[in-house]
Amino acid sequence: MTTTEVTAAPRTADHACPTTRSARPRRYLMAVPKFFAVEYVINPWMDASVPVDAERAVAQWEVLRQTYTRLGHSVELLEPVAGLPDMVYVANGGVIVNGKAVVARFAHPERAAESIAHANWMSRNGFSPVETRYVNEGQGDFLVVGSTILAGHGFRTDRRAHDEVARHLEMPLVPLELIDPRFYHLDTALAVLDDATIAYYPPAFAEHSRAELAARFPDAIQVAAADAYVLGLNVVSDGLNVVLPAAATGFAEQLRQRGFRPVGVDLSELLKGGGSVKCCTLEVYP
């Protein structure tokens, strides 16, 4: 199976009458930021000269973990490894859906060893992880919406990896090109809110990808720069509750108007590494 483009049926937006929404229990993988630091610079958010409060990073992460459990979700832990300060951003480690798993092949050598830890976890939990020939950075660039995968490329994931992932997961895939280096992964510029609803920041995408998103998701939430620039789209949603950076107040109001429940958390220390809620959360899809 090669990369497949699917045609979405037109939908009529009805923002005045939000759809009745419901939460679905989810299974998440997380990794405590025991060794978190900004020791190198591989994205525009990182500045090795800015100090990181490691204890505060752990405390903020713990609030996120407890938020998930309070909402009724299952959280499993990936053991952190010394020397891998970005391991807290577990979403980048792979994609697991329909009982199939693809492990990441990282673009930067500083993160390469993370894929070993992810592959070992996948194997211990009944999955047979497949490696790609080309760079793929897991759920950072591969987001499941319904029965389709939205796939980012332009900064990290190699466009050629899309075919490999689509073939192994046996799911149709829609490529989306990112053009602003601040939004280096798809999950920094686009959020999946339920099986048919997304939010995104249009300037992060190439013109042809903006047209693609507008055609497929005419009722999508378009987020303002003020929210995008605090990684406000780096969220985790269970279909009703949307856990998002607390600073993204405008986006939170947009979510309320559409019938979602925004749940703000402060991950300001982890933002120093270029990640937030979604980066810290790998969803294991059934």
User: pLDDT tens digits for 38-47?
Assistant: 999 999 999 9
Q: Is 199 helix (H, G, I), strand (E, B) or coil?
A: strand
User: pLDDT tens digits for 200-219?
Assistant: 999 999 999 999 999 999 99
pLDDT average, residue stretch 90-98: 97
Torsion of CA 238, 240, 245, 248, to 10 degrees: 150
Quick one: CA dihedral 179, 272, 243, 264, positive or negative?
A: negative
**Enzyme catalytic residues:** 185, 279
Q: Cα–Cα–Cα angle for 90, 65, 190, nearest 5°?
A: 55
Give the Cα separation of 282 and 94 in Å (integer). Answer: 8
Q: 3-state DSSP: the chain helix, strand, coil percent, rounded to 5?
A: 30, 20, 50
pTM above 0.75, yes or no: yes
Give the Cα separation of 260 and 193 in Å (integer). Answer: 9
pLDDT average, residue stretch 262-281: 98
What integer best gives the mean pLDDT of the chain? 94
User: pLDDT tens digits for 151-191?
Assistant: 999 999 999 999 999 999 999 999 999 999 999 999 999 99
Residue 22 C-alpha from the chain's centroid: 21
Domain 27-283 grouped into CATH 3.90.1150.10 = no
Q: In this structure, what token pair is assigned to residue 36?
A: 């978190």
For residue 1, pLDDT beyond 90 = no
User: pLDDT tens digits for 217-262?
Assistant: 999 999 999 999 999 999 999 999 999 999 999 999 999 999 999 9
Give the Cα separation of 142 and 136 in Å (integer). Answer: 9
